[in-house]
């Protein structure tokens, strides 16, 4: 037995160090790991459990940061950022799939790619609208580069980067443990790296939005089948490179239980569509499966087996939630009664190191049936604030509450302790003792948590409660950085920013002439809302003539209105005082 352990640890050493050879790229895949483990009669799970004491949360997920060769003309940069970046060397020019979250990382990757091929980049593909797949694009863009995404990218980009940017940023930073002290940052389930800062790189918006289910494109002599394949996002694409038998899966497959719901917040991730999208990848029967996160797979049987397990797990959760819902089960009951089937426990790809089954069950229920669990008492439930004040009346006093919290902590009932602390925080918002106990309860929950992003969230909130960290979520933007964001996206983001108190009893119509593009828009303030139209409203009281970049800057708070007017980039005709009043009705991020 000791000899076998030595074999395993030696194998670990070889795998983690083989990228330190003199080769500029590494020809290493999951097949190598599989064959090596078979040679020692060792399972994935056994190997990782043996070396677990020597590695951190996510060492088992990534090969060492490097450029890995898949076939003669396809390479993948792994371990640089949260997402991988993929190079296809074509005839006279190259193709890149996904570009990481950072222009700094992307520049480093491009430099490595150019060691392989210094041809210009003819095409970039964004597999979907999450920032780790498009934000680093700028260093990859050459003079004639086209940037491809699916037409549904437009809504995904708008939702995440305009409509819901403040809350998704706040919760996303907690999920990834971004503001935690360095000594507490132990990864996020998809590795260690998140190279993100609040200095926004230039936004490179897609130049080509592909329509429909399937598009076959030939670029630089490379024919790719691009398929709209909703899964982790509605705008997800998978790409099939038939000549090399490669499927590029985007985020519809990675070696983790899939994030069927993400705690930073998301629109419904349709689990039915997701496992059907995995079936689309299976139907190609590829030799290689290249994910946008983590290692790639090679070997037809290995790819088929793992994709089958993956889709079966997603369908199992989907069907379990539907069966239970049809029997009148509530989401709480469904989560409480869930029993893991044997195949969940036996498969490496289903470890809950990114997604969680409990979150996924709730997501399926809510996706089909909405917030209401079918119990009449929950039609109009008490708010957390009112419920906490009522429960505190039953508890009787602050001393009694503190006794209950400490008893819960002593009994290792950390969730109950945290819920009691929440009651205390609502009734005594400035009480430091309660804050410290609340923080302690969440820290204890983080120690029990095996899911990295849940751990990060517990710890981040714990450290915020007692002010050990104070996140600064302010983005630094310039007009150049946002130049490529479509102007209609900027207008569409304005209605939720309207302050309804300032708009109370107001009726204002404003028309906009975009002086550099000729586009026209209108905003109508009435009934405490702002309606956006793509024309100048009839009898508009105010007409604004403005350059698109200037208006973007004004809305996003990076351009001064006074200087825009004095420079002639913005002019107002009609009721000027009413325009000033109109301008103050909208809040900045």
Confidence of residue 535 (pLDDT cuts 50, 70, 90): very high
Across 479-484, average pLDDT: 79
Which residues pair with residue 217 across a beta bridge?
Answer: 224
Q: Which two tokens stand for residue 316?
A: 């199992």
Using DSSP's 3-state secondary structure scheme, residue 76 falls into strand
Instruction: Give residues with Cβ within 8 angstroms of 588, minimum separation 6.
Output: 497, 556, 557
Across 552-568, average pLDDT: 85
Residue 5 has pLDDT above 70, yes or no: no
Q: Which two tokens stand for residue 553?
A: 């800057």
Residue 373 has pLDDT above 90, yes or no: yes
Least confident window among 37-46, 93-102, 123-132, 578-587: 37-46
CA angle 499, 503, 507 (to 5 degrees): 145
Do residues 212 and 225 lie in contact, with contact meaning Cβ atoms separated by under 8 Å? no
Q: How many whole angstroms separate alpha carbon 72 and alpha carbon 70?
A: 7
Length of the chain: 589
Q: What's CA 26's distance to the chain center, in Å?
A: 28
Q: CA nearest 30: which of 22, 21, 38?
A: 38
Residue 363 has pLDDT above 60, yes or no: yes
- The pTM assigned to this predicted structure is 0.88
Location of structure tokens 């009787």: 396
Q: What is the pLDDT of residues 83-114, one digit of tens each?
A: 999 999 999 999 999 999 999 999 999 999 99
Q: CA nearest 134: which of 236, 263, 264, 268?
A: 236
Location of structure tokens 């290692």: 295
Domains of the chain (ranges; CATH) run 2-304 (3.60.15.30), 384-465 (1.25.40.880), 480-583 (3.30.1050.10)
Q: Which two tokens stand for residue 32?
A: 């190598």
Residue 14 has pLDDT above 80, yes or no: no
Q: How many whole angstroms separate alpha carbon 458 and alpha carbon 441?
A: 9
Q: What is the pLDDT of residues 304-343, one digit of tens each?
A: 999 999 999 999 999 999 999 999 999 999 999 999 999 9
Do residues 123 and 98 lie in contact, with contact meaning Cβ atoms separated by under 8 Å? no
Q: How many whole angstroms separate alpha carbon 370 and alpha carbon 364?
A: 9
Q: How many whole angstroms separate alpha carbon 285 and alpha carbon 195?
A: 34
The arrangement of strands across the sheet holding 529-533 comes to: 529-533, 520-526, 508-514, 542-546, 570-574
Confidence of residue 559 (pLDDT cuts 50, 70, 90): confident
Q: How many whole angstroms separate alpha carbon 478 and alpha carbon 556?
A: 9
């Amino acid at each position: 037995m000791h000899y076998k352990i030595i074999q395993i640890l030696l194998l670990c050493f070889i795998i983690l160090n083989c990228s330190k050879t003199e080769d500029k790229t590494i020809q290493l895949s999951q097949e190598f790991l599989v064959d090596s483990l078979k040679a020692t009669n060792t399972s994935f799970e056994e190997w990782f459990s043996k070396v677990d004491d020597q590695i951190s949360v996510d060492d088992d997920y990534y090969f060492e940061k490097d450029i890995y060769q898949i076939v003669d003309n396809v390479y993948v940069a792994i371990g640089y950022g949260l997402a991988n970046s993929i190079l296809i060397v074509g005839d006279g020019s190259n193709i890149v799939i996904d570009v990481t979250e950072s222009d700094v990382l992307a520049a480093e990757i491009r430099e490595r790619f150019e060691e392989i091929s210094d041809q210009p980049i003819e095409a970039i593909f964004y597999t979907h609208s999450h920032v780790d797949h498009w934000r680093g694009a700028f260093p990859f863009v050459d003079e004639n580069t086209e940037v491809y995404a699916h037409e549904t990218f437009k809504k995904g980009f708008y939702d995440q980067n305009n409509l819901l940017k403040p809350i998704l940023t706040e919760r996303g930073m907690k999920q990834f443990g971004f503001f935690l002290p360095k000594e507490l940052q132990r990864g996020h389930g998809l590795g260690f790296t998140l190279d993100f800062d609040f200095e926004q790189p230039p936004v490179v918006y897609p130049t080509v939005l592909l329509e429909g289910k399937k598009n076959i494109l030939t670029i630089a002599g490379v024919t790719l089948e691009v398929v709209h394949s909703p899964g982790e996002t509605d705008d997800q694409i998978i790409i099939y490179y038939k000549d090399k038998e490669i499927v590029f899966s985007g985020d519809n497959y990675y070696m983790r239980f899939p994030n069927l719901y993400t705690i930073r917040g998301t629109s419904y991730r349709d689990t039915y569509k997701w496992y059907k999208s995995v079936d689309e990848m299976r139907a190609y029967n590829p030799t290689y499966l290249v994910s946008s996160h983590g290692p790639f797979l090679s070997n037809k049987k290995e790819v088929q087996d793992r994709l089958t397990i993956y889709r079966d797990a997603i369908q199992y959760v989907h069907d379990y939630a539907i069966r239970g819902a049809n029997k009148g089960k509530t989401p709480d009951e469904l989560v409480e009664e869930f029993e893991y089937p044997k195949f969940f426990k036996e498969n490496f790809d289903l470890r809950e190191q990114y997604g969680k089954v409990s979150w996924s069950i709730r997501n399926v229920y809510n996706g089909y049936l909405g917030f209401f669990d079918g119990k009449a008492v929950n039609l109009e439930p008490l708010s957390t604030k009112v419920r906490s004040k009522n429960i505190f009346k039953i508890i009787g006093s602050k001393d009694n509450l503190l006794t209950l919290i400490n008893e819960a902590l002593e009994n290792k009932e950390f969730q109950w302790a945290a819920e009691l602390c929440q009651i205390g925080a609502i009734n005594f918002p400035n009480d430091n003792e309660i804050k410290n106990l609340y923080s302690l309860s969440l820290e204890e929950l983080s120690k029990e948590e095996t899911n990295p992003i849940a751990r990060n969230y517990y710890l981040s909130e714990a450290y915020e409660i007692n002010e050990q960290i104070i996140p600064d979520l302010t983005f630094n933007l310039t007009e150049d950085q946002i130049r490529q964001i479509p102007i209609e996206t900027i207008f569409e983001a304005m209605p939720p920013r309207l302050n309804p108190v300032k708009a109370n009893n107001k009726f204002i119509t404003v028309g906009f002439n975009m002086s550099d593009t000729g586009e026209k828009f209108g905003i109508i303030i009435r009934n405490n809302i702002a309606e956006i139209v793509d024309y100048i409203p009839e009898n508009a009281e105010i007409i604004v003539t403005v350059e698109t970049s200037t208006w973007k800057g004004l809305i996003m708070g990076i351009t001064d209105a006074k200087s825009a007017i004095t420079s002639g980039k913005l002019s107002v005709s009609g009721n000027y005082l009413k325009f000033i009043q109109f301008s103050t009705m909208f809040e900045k991020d």
